[in-house]
Amino acid sequence: MIPTAAVAAEQPADSTAQAILDARAVFLRQEIELASGKPAYLVLDVSRGVLSVRRKHVELLAIPVTATVMVPGGGGDRRPVWPGSKFTLASALQEIERPRIDPPEKAEGDTTAAPVTVGDIQAARDRYLQAHPSRYRLTFDPGLEVEVLGFDPSHGEGGAGLGVRLGDAWRDLGHRLAGRERGLLLRVTMDEQLARRLYLTLEPGITLLIAPPDPR
Amino acid sequence: MKSSRKWWLAAGFALAVPVVLAMVLVLGTARGIPAGEVEFPTTGAGTGPGELARLERTLDAQRPWGVFIIVDTVANRLQVRRGEDVIREAVCSTGTGSVLEDPATGKRWIFETPRGVRTVIGKRKDPVWVRPDWSFIEEGSDLPRNFKDRVDRETLGDWALDLGDGYMIHGTLFQRYLGRNVTHGCIRLGDEDLAFVAAATPVGASVLLF
């Protein structure tokens, strides 16, 4: 009985390690495919707690995040499984209105005319960046919703307040009443300026990869 | 009137109670778990460490070869890289993101530094700028009748690295504005940084802009 127990104790550890090796291989093949093209892509490294924007395997932006998967009530104690390993953004992105430049003749008589000094130009640019959302929800295929929650670090790590939790509850309720299976909800908390920056960087149909831990 | 209001209040209350109860039920049972604990789909491929190492080498080979440039259009920073090594970091100026519309024709220009991957397609010493229409329209000037009135030998500084579609990395007469989004889409550098970038970056080098 003792050897059997020892084998039984070792087997799950081996199979877990093998599963991580396999998942890592899938991830690397997918990143090779993405890095061979020009578009940007996102990589969420769950073990490092970093969401990065990459092109050609070069990390352009590394955003420290706290990533949590929300499991709806009634799901039992079963650990969730990622619904895929490569996700494509399906949500439409909000178009933010750009600052406008009016040529001088028009500007003279127009009180709404665009700025002409460098300070004003930069201020208009800053307003444009600030107009990007810091809290938003993105739908990825297959079956992954990503909720980005930007917080002001001077006010501590905001995370999911009552409003967010009520929103969750409302959506869960809607799915339950409609008898629909809700996709996995990944909640990503980050600095609000970086959340805006991330939104600016998103491109329609951008790919998100979830990086399994590096087994080495 | 009074009884009607009471009726609406009662109906509202009767509707709100089950909704609130249902939400409380869900709130009470929903839980969050760290994303690192979520399992990955199993493939049963039986990958070995050697295969993983081979894939990592293949992935590393996707990075731009030799010297390349990264431009951050929000922080207004430029890096010259060789592999993982940063060999120069510089403050630059990039596009305002503003829109200019020609009042006469309705034609629009967006002064944004393009994001994506570009290639240095040419390098020019003492570059001449042929001013495009928008630079006159923006000033409220008439478009020149003669080509020579478009020629500007000062604005671009000592070097221009062409990135295609009229976008360049070049110098500036306004070094005090480095670090700001003040350009029409080009990337401006200070004199010393521009000299370094021009010397270090060969034609054909990749430029990653984000």
Q: What CATH number did the domain enclosing B182 receive?
A: 2.40.440.10
pLDDT bucket at B15, cuts 50 / 70 / 90: confident
Residue A65: inside a domain: yes
- Residue type at A109? G
Is position A59 within any domain?
yes
Mean predicted confidence (pLDDT) in B171-187: 94
* Touching A: B residues 71-110, CB under 8 Å: 72, 74, 81, 96-101, 103, 110
d(CA A14, CA A27): 20
Q: Tell me which residue in B63, B98, B182 faces A100 most closely, judged by beta carbons.
A: B98
> How many structural domains compose chain A?
1
pLDDT band for position B12 (cuts 50, 70, 90): confident
How high is the pLDDT of residue A171? 67
* A145, β-bridge pairs: A139, A185
Q: What is the pLDDT of residue A179?
A: 65
User: For chain A, first and last CA: distance in Å?
Assistant: 33
Q: Is residue A119 part of a domain?
A: no
Q: Which residue has the higher pLDDT, A97 or B169?
A: B169
Does A22 sit within 8 Å of B45, measured CB to CB?
yes
The reported pLDDT for the residue numbered B136 is 94
Question: Cα-flanking dihedrals φ and ψ of residue B91, to 5°?
Answer: -85, 135
For B72, the enclosing helix (H) or strand (E) is strand B67-72
Ramachandran region of residue A197, left (φ > 0), alpha (ψ -120 to 50) or beta?
Answer: alpha
pLDDT category at B13 given cuts 50, 70, 90 is confident
Beta bridge partners of B70: B79, B208
User: Does residue B188 belong to any structural domain of this protein?
Assistant: yes
Q: Is residue B187 one of the residues assigned to a domain?
A: yes
Q: How many domains does chain B have?
A: 1
Following DSSP, what letter does each residue of B12-64 receive, concatenated?
HHHHHHHHHHHHHHHHHH-EEEEGGGSBPPP------HHHHHHHHHHHHTTSP
Closest-CA residue to A201 (of A153, A120, A142, A136)? A136
In a domain, B205, yes or no: yes
Kindly indicate the confidence band of residue B30, based on its pLDDT and cuts at 50, 70 and 90.
Answer: low
Task: Report the residue of chain A nearest B96, measured CA to CA.
Answer: A125
The answer to whether position A54 is within a domain reads yes
Do A212 and A86 touch, CB atoms closer than 8 A? no
When computed from its CA atoms, the radius of gyration of chain B, rounded to whole angstroms, is: 29
pLDDT interval class at B183 (50, 70, 90): very high
Across chain B, mean pLDDT equals 91
Q: For chain A, positions 154-213, list CB contacts with chain B under 8 A.
A: 160, 165-166, 168-170, 172-173, 176, 184, 186-187, 197, 200-201, 210, 212-213
Task: Determine the Cα–Cα distance for residues B167 and B120; give it in Å rounded to an integer.
Answer: 10
Q: Which domain holds residue A164?
A: 2-96+132-211
For residues A101 and B134, give the distance between their C-alpha atoms in angstroms, rounded to a whole number: 11
In-domain check, residue A58: yes
Question: The tokens of A107 are what?
Answer: 């500007």
Decide if A57 is inside a domain: yes
Q: What is the CATH number of the domain that holds A152?
A: 2.40.440.10
Residue A121 lies in a domain: no
Q: Which residues of chain A have pLDDT under 50?
A: 1-12, 106-107, 113, 115
Burial class (CB in 10 A: 0-12, 13-18, 19+), B2: exposed
- Let me know: does A158 contact A191? Beta carbons within 8 Å: no
A125 in contact with chain B, both atoms CB, cutoff 8 A? yes
Find the Cα–Cα–Cα–Cα dihedral A19, A25, A27, A30, rounded to 10°: -140
Burial class (CB in 10 A: 0-12, 13-18, 19+), A161: exposed
Q: What is the pLDDT of residue A170?
A: 67
Per-residue pLDDT reduced to its tens digit, B48-102: 889 999 999 999 999 999 999 999 999 999 999 999 999 999 999 999 999 999 9
Is A108 inside any structural domain? no
What's the pLDDT score for residue B11? 85
Distance from C-alpha of B3 to C-alpha of A185, rounded to nearest angstrom: 46
| In a domain? residue B185 | yes
Does residue B165 belong to any structural domain of this protein?
Answer: yes
Give A22→chain B minimum CA distance, Å: 5
> Which pLDDT score, from 0 to 100, does residue B177 have?
92
Q: Does residue B154 sit in helix, strand or coil?
A: coil
Q: Does B199 or A16 have the greater pLDDT score? A: B199
Q: Is residue B190 part of a domain?
A: yes
Of chain B, the percentage scoring pLDDT greater than 90 comes to 73
The dihedrals phi and psi of A65, each to the nearest 5 degrees, come to -135, 160
Give the mean model confidence (pLDDT) for residues B116-127.
97
Show the domain range for B83: 79-95+113-131+153-209
Residue B50 included in any domain: no
pLDDT computed for residue A8 by the predictor: 37
Rounded to whole angstroms, how far apart are CA atoms B138 and B24? 58
A119–chain B nearest CA distance, Å: 9
- Kindly list the residues from chain B whose CB atom is less than 8 angstroms away from the CB atom of residue A200: 74
pLDDT band for position B32 (50/70/90)?
A: confident
Q: Distance between CA atoms of B164 and B207, rounded to whole angstroms?
A: 11
